[in-house]
Amino acid sequence: PQSLRILAHLLAALLLSLLASVLGATVFRPDLSVLIVVFFALEHELLPGLLLAAAVGYLSDLFSGLGPGLDAATNVIVFLTLRVFVAQIAGGRFAMVSALGLVSTILALCVRQLIEALVGPGQADLQLALPAFPSVLLGALGLAYPVYRLFLALDRVVQPKKEFGYGARRRLGQKP
């Protein structure tokens, strides 16, 4: 069940990345990989979430054309930061998830610039990215919660229904 959940999340991340790449949004340009990492930080255990954040970052690296490993490293750092400061919050509310999406996007932008400054290859130029910042931030605010809800709905589809014991069925009025 857990491996099916992880596979479903990777497939959904790939499909979202493909969709964003095909649409080539010019006005509304969210950093989808970071928004997906917000879900992983809130809803996954540490190790599976960390591995998923790295894998989604790798997928993002494939579509971004920036330095290899840049988004993977950024997603891992964002995931760990969220886990340290947010931990496991049960049930994502709209305002909380949207705020986390915005903060995570800003953190990811800063981390990318820091990685580029320290190790190169110098492809993520801050001056070239400045015109896109408003759309990236608006995208984070507008899509953080829908992405979170999409992955929650996917969880409901792939996770098996919880079985009730004999006593629970009896209390619910069902026959044993």
Say if residues 147 and 32 touch (Cβ distance below 8 Å).
yes
The predicted model scores a pTM of 0.81
Per residue in 119-167, pLDDT (tens digit) is 866 666 667 667 778 888 888 899 999 999 999 999 989 876 665 545 4
- The residue behind tokens 């996770």 is 159
Say if residues 32 and 17 touch (Cβ distance below 8 Å).
yes
Query: pLDDT tens digits, the chain, 176 residues: what are they?
Result: 688 999 999 999 999 888 877 776 554 567 889 999 999 999 888 999 999 999 999 988 887 766 678 889 999 999 999 988 876 565 568 888 999 999 999 999 889 888 888 886 666 666 766 777 888 888 889 999 999 999 999 998 987 666 554 544 444 445 54
Compute the distance between CA of residue 125 and CA of residue 162 in angstroms, rounded to an integer.
49
Compute the distance between CA of residue 132 and CA of residue 146 in angstroms, rounded to an integer.
21
Compute the distance between CA of residue 85 and CA of residue 63 in angstroms, rounded to an integer.
29
